[in-house]
Structure 1
Amino acid sequence: MTTELIKEIEKEYLKPEGELPALNPGDSVKVMVRIREGNKERLQGYEGVIIKLAGAGVSKTITVRRVFQGVGVERVFLLHSPKVESIKVLRRGDVRRAKLYYLRERTGKAARIREKTTQK
């Protein structure tokens, strides 16, 4: 009974079905995040590869990795957070694993992920 009650309360905080795209590990995405500086608010894009999907419901998260000035930077985003404005899938990755932690040790061409080709 308590889990049903929790799900019912969390339902109002979930984003609508069509607002979030289908996300998979290996996808290159651009996440637009609301940044607050003083009393001003602006949008900032964070572009990288999804290396991990975790959680379910309101607590569903993605970990996005990118290399900035030669340093690997990973950031975790709550998908249903009001700070996440939008997520755009730039490329679909073709990977065989659910967690892409091996990308942390790879640089340059070794860190490339094949693009998924759609067959009709």
Structure 2
Amino acid sequence: MDIREIVKPMVNEGIPQFSPGDTVRVSMRVREGERERVQHFQGMVIRIRRGVDGGRFTVRRVAYGVGVEYTFPYQSPLVEGVEVVRRGKARRAKLYYMRDLSAKRARLKEKRSPGGQSDKQQESGE
């Protein structure tokens, strides 16, 4: 039996297509004692690792002057969903150099669609 046959049914369908440089909001379930709640983490995707196990992606944000990175597996049952907030224009597959930049310098230009509008403008109908 091949591992791909075992892993394929477990693929998380709530994750859209995104690439490094995009800003995403990840909804993850957090358990605190007896309670369970949904916590959102919004930041820039700095790397995507693909593999037989489904892969994982790393999201980075700067909170109160401190850089925070989370690595989320694609197939984790704790990841409820991923929403793409903004498409970023990156020229690299791994954006590790963002770690050394200040928060203001660590911004990327927004990716334009073929119609000349950004994704956000297309959704709102402007």
Q: Percent identity?
A: 44
> How far is 1:12 from its partner?
2.0
- 2:4 is matched with 7
Amino acid at match of 1:109: K
Select the residue among 91, 94, 104 that pairs with 2:89. 94
Q: Which amino acid aligns with 1:41?
A: E
CA drift of 1:63 comes to 0.4
Aligned counterparts, 1:66-77, within 5 A: 66-77=61-72
Counting only pairs closer than 5 Å after superposition, residues 1-120 of structure 1 correspond to structure 2 as 5-16=2-13, 19-120=14-115
C-alpha distance in structure 1 between counterparts of 2:28 and 2:71, whole Å: 12
CA contact (8 A) 2:62 2:103 kept: no
1:32 alignment partner AA: S
Alignment RMSD (CA, Å): 1.2
Question: Gaps (5+ residues) in structure 2?
Answer: 116-126
Query: What is the alpha-carbon distance in structure 2 between the residues aligned to residue 14 and residue 35 of structure 1?
Result: 20
CA contact (8 A) 1:14 1:58 kept: no
Query: For residues 80 and 12 of structure 2, what CA distance do their matches in structure 1 show?
Result: 11
Kindly indicate which of the two structures has a greater share of residues assigned to helix: 1
TM-score with structure 2 setting the length: 0.86
Q: Which runs of 4+ in 1 moved over 2 A?
A: 55-59
